[in-house]
């Protein structure tokens, strides 16, 4: 859920060093472009990348937007499923340069969902933000195609507010990109010239809100596999769902209401409220949910103006801090709620039967399905943004579902903590290790836990063994 601005230079170096270690198994780069220079080169490009660095294709595709009534209940549609309306979304697909993979190659696809961005334009389709650079570097280093859809409400979609951590909206937006990606092989002159096609392997990956979106997409695929595989060349192969707020009704609710706890990124809370208001209507009316102090219009405006999609999240943090008279990272999230709404909807004992409890539980990602393809979970036990309990409860509940279905959780769920408790690896620092290691995990064939530490060491140097 964290904006990863200013972080991906360090992360990219880890990935680039990993590529250097892998060079023996892939084609050598042309003279003058060693792997450790990849992110330095990509970082200087404010316009589309030259094809010798990596080719990219712009996506514009029709996606489904689920429809809810003003009280937040799904509107029924044909066939008993929820009604949806079409919306046009954008994104970008990165391909390796022609010297990296031979003509006629069949490429695996990594569907990479980006982390939280509040500013509408800070998205991969526009080469804005920083996370697209990692997708471009991964395509070049590993020989994957890396698709990065802009999330709904961002990029080319101005039809509504970003549905922050609303599972169905994010899953539809992500998976609906696949037909357009598949067609690129017959439409993009660069791909046609080099006769590139698809291997059929589909991996999904994300960290923070991107991790949440990825797991929501995996759940949607697993519960409607026939729908997504019919007429598609892609088959879900594995996923990496890392450091996401998978347990909204439990772990995240506890973070929202915890007394006396400063939170590193205060903008998450109003972003969440505004996103859920866009989906569920009056159940998350910001005029009722948010603290009156944030809604007052002063010389600098108010929270509805600060969070209108024209500013980055850290800028909103600063405005919230100024309004409340304290450093942004010292703000307790309880202070951002209207006390009357908080007592009625989130605090005990009202929470057990509140409407908000039901809506949060609807967006938990560990119930109602059984994984059948491998999933990698990575998170720091000391993550201060997303409590580690989100990962633990998800592993426990999905593992039990697999056992009840007669399967072996150890063959499908891989958990590799980032550090040990007390190592103080932050949410952002965890991204430096989690994202490159996930690409490497796919590259090496998704090894089991016994093999993972040695593989990860080869990519990034020594890492702590899981407890």
- CA 402, 408, 410, 411 dihedral sign is negative
The pair of three-digit structure tokens given for residue 6, joined into one six-digit string: 């200013």
Picking from 132, 125, 127, the residue whose alpha carbon sits closest to that of residue 152 is 125
Query: According to the model, what pLDDT value does residue 11 have?
Result: 44
pLDDT 10s digits, 3-31: 443 444 344 434 433 443 333 333 333 33
Structural domains in the chain plus CATH codes: 8-246+364-460 (3.40.50.1820), 248-362 (no CATH)
Question: Does residue 288 contact residue 400 with C-beta atoms inside 8 Å?
Answer: no
Characterize the bridge pairing of strands 413-415 and 55-66. Answer: unpaired
Q: Where are the alpha helices (DSSP H) in 188-267?
A: 189-193, 209-223, 225-229, 253-257
The pair of three-digit structure tokens given for residue 17, joined into one six-digit string: 């060093």
Q: What is the pLDDT along the chain (467 residues), one digit of tens a residue?
A: 544 434 443 444 344 334 433 333 333 333 333 333 455 556 665 556 778 788 999 999 999 999 999 999 999 998 889 999 999 999 999 999 898 899 999 999 999 999 999 999 999 999 998 788 888 888 988 889 999 999 999 999 999 999 999 999 999 999 999 999 999 999 999 999 999 999 999 999 999 999 999 999 999 999 999 999 998 999 999 999 999 999 999 999 999 999 987 899 999 999 999 999 999 999 999 999 999 999 999 999 999 999 999 999 999 999 999 999 999 989 999 999 999 999 999 999 999 999 999 999 999 999 999 999 999 999 999 999 999 999 999 999 999 999 999 999 999 999 999 988 998 999 988 887 888 889 888 988 998 866 665 655 555 444 444 44
Omega before 349 within 30 of 0, i.e. cis:
yes
- If residue 268 lies in a helix (H) or strand (E), which one and from where to where? helix 268-280
Q: Buried b vs exposed e over 54-67: b needs ≥16 C-beta within 10 Å?
A: bbbbebebebbbbe
- DSSP states of 397-431: HHHHHHHHTT--HHHHEEE--SS-TTS---HHHHH
Residue 222 CB coordination number (10 Å): 15
Question: Does residue 220 contact residue 357 with C-beta atoms inside 8 Å?
Answer: no
d(CA 91, CA 112): 11
Length of the chain: 467
Query: According to the model, what pLDDT value does residue 141 have?
Result: 82
Query: According to the model, what pLDDT value does residue 129 have?
Result: 84
Picking from 440, 418, 422, the residue whose alpha carbon sits closest to that of residue 430 is 418
pLDDT 10s digits, 235-281: 999 999 999 999 999 999 999 999 987 899 999 999 999 999 999 99
d(CA 59, CA 82): 26
- DSSP states of 321-332: HHHHTS-GGG-B
């Amino acid at each position: 859920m964290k904006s990863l601005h200013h972080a991906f230079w360090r992360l990219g170096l880890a990935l680039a060093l990993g590529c250097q270690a892998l060079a023996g198994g892939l084609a050598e780069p042309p003279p003058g472009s060693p792997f450790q220079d990849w992110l330095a080169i990509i970082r200087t490009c404010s316009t589309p990348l030259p094809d010798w660095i990596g080719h990219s294709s712009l996506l514009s595709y029709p996606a489904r937007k689920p429809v809810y009534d003003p009280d937040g209940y799904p509107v029924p549609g044909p066939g008993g499923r929820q009604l949806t309306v079409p919306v046009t979304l954008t994104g970008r697909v990165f391909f390796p340069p022609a010297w990296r993979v031979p003509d006629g190659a069949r490429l695996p696809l990594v569907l990479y969902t980006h982390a939280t961005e509040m500013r509408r334009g800070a998205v991969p389709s526009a080469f804005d933000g920083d996370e697209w650079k990692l997708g471009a570097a991964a395509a070049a280093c590993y020989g994957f195609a890396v698709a990065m859809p802009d999330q709904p409400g961002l990029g080319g979609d101005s039809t509504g507010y970003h549905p922050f951590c609303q599972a169905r909206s994010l899953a539809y937006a992500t998976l609906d990109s696949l037909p357009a990606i598949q067609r690129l092989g017959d439409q993009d002159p660069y791909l046609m010239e080099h006769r590139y096609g698809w291997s059929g392997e589909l991996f999904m990956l994300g960290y923070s809100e991107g991790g949440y979106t990825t797991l929501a997409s995996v759940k949607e695929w697993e519960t409607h596999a026939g729908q997504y595989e019919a007429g598609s060349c892609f088959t879900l192969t594995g996923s990496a769902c890392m450091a996401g707020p998978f347990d909204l009704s439990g772990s995240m609710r506890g973070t929202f209401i915890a007394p006396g706890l400063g939170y590193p990124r205060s903008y998450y809370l109003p972003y969440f409220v505004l996103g859920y208001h866009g989906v569920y209507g009056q159940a998350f009316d910001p005029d009722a949910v948010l603290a009156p102090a944030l809604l007052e219009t002063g010389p600098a405006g108010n929270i509805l103006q600060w969070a209108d999609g024209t500013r980055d999240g850290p800028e909103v943090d600063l405005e919230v801090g100024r309004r409340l008279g304290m450093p942004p990272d010292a703000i307790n999230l309880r202070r951002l709620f209207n006390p009357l709404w908080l007592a009625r909807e989130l605090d005990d004992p009202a929470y057990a039967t509140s409407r908000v409890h039901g809506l949060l539980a609807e967006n938990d990602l560990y119930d109602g399905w059984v994984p059948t393809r491998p999933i990698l979970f990575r998170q720091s036990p000391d993550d201060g943004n997303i409590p580690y309990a989100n990962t633990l409860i998800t592993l426990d509940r999905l593992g039990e579902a697999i056992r009840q279905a007669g399967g072996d959780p150890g063959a499908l769920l891989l958990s590799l903590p980032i550090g040990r408790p007390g190592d103080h690896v932050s949410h952002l620092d965890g991204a430096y290790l989690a994202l490159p290691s996930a690409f490497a995990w796919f590259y090496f064939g998704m090894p089991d836990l016994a093999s993972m530490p040695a593989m990860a060491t080869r990519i990034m140097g020594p890492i702590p063994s899981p407890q």
